[in-house]
Amino acid sequence: MAQPRWLDDEEQRVWRTFLTATQLLFERLDRALVRDGGMPHAYYEILVRLSEAPDRTLRMSQLAQRCLSSRSRLSHAAARLEERGWIRRQACPTDRRGLLAVLTDDGFAALAAAAPGHVEAVRTYLFDPLTAAQVRALGRISEAVLVGLGEDEAVPLGDDAPGGR
Amino acid sequence: MAQPRWLDDEEQRVWRTFLTATQLLFERLDRALVRDGGMPHAYYEILVRLSEAPDRTLRMSQLAQRCLSSRSRLSHAAARLEERGWIRRQACPTDRRGLLAVLTDDGFAALAAAAPGHVEAVRTYLFDPLTAAQVRALGRISEAVLVGLGEDEAVPLGDDAPGGR
DNA sequence: CAGGAATAGTTGAACGTTCAATACCGTTCA
DNA sequence: TGAACGGTATTGAACGTTCAACTATTCCTG
């Protein structure tokens, strides 16, 4: 990148404000979730995705994709969630390489206990400060960014780099 | 939170899209920075803040605040940056409790080497996909969220909770 | 169907963050 | 002055993520 296209003053200001706002927002939400729900957001995400799946069950790979998580991260997290008794891993009948992650009743209960507070926090810190028009704009902006990220080839999220045999 | 104000369909959609877009965006930017600049975004932030300070020098506390970092995190990060020779810590002349973090020439060079690629990535993945109106909207949205976060009392960012002696 | 390539998932080490504790210094006030 | 309190910064342990193997299974191709 010999001649980068630098940011002009307004872009610089928008970028810094955006960075600050999102960092503080996620920090605030995560902290509230740990305090009131007893879990970090990464765990919450896993429970949510499983709760939405048929039979509250997903292949580990599918789950990782939906959580925007690397396989490795999910493996470690799943081990800890299993210790807590919130999920269970069992052999996949159709593919002997595979594992099915299943949300247990305890896991569902933990999610049900955490969800109201988390939703309330998202509303308080994200939606309440915005007008309806800004909410719509944020939706379109996020979609545009997402499209921009996708165009550049679908990077499969860390992990699984060169390795193999 | 007995009766949470749940998210309606549009809010749900906006929240998930926003979450996905920001997570992927920051992941992409961080990965590029590690690959091309040899440092994670947290280090980059530290170097930037120091480079903007008078004499490229800041008190550790000031630096932590500007980086939205806890003191503890900054301490650990500073130790590693010092090992790399990118910063130096020296006693503060006016307050013997304090330390001054100083950006070294090597640190400045590392920042100068990393910055163009990072800026280019920010442009590519955030600004290029957006219209000028969307960029302005994102600025106002971020400001509104920031105000909303501030109103609720200024939480000093983790660390230094009950402890003491 | 044999053999290589790709897929699914895990593991341990290294790295980064958080949390609570600790040491030290400054400030205040009786 | 000195005792209590608050601020500055660090430290080590615990936790979470990343990175690079590694195992086991399935898919693909000749």
The pLDDT value recorded for residue A91 is 97
DSSP state of A161: S
Q: A77 CA, D22 C1': separation in Å?
A: 20
| pTM for the whole structure | 0.92
Per residue in B129-144, is it b (16+ CB within 10 Å) or e — as a string?
A: bbeeebbebbbebbbb
Which residues of A in 74-93 have their CB below 7 Å from strand C's atoms? 74-76, 78-79, 89, 92
B interface test, pick of A7, A10, A124, A149 with most B CB neighbours within 10 Å: A149
Q: Over its length of 165 residues, how does chain B's per-residue pLDDT go in tens digits?
A: 556 789 999 999 999 999 999 999 999 999 999 999 999 999 999 999 999 999 999 999 999 999 999 999 999 999 999 999 999 999 999 999 999 999 999 999 999 999 999 999 999 999 999 999 999 999 999 999 999 998 765 566 555 444 333
CA A95 to C1' D29, whole Å: 21
Where do the domains of chain B lie, and which CATH numbers do they carry?
A: 27-116 (1.10.10.10)
pLDDT (tens digit per residue) in A18-55: 999 999 999 999 999 999 999 999 999 999 999 999 99
A98: which nucleotide lies closest, measuring CA to C1'? C8
The whole-number pLDDT of residue A162 equals: 42
State whether B148 and A140 contact (CB < 8 Å): no
Of the candidates A7, A127, A140, the beta carbon closest to that of B123 is on A7
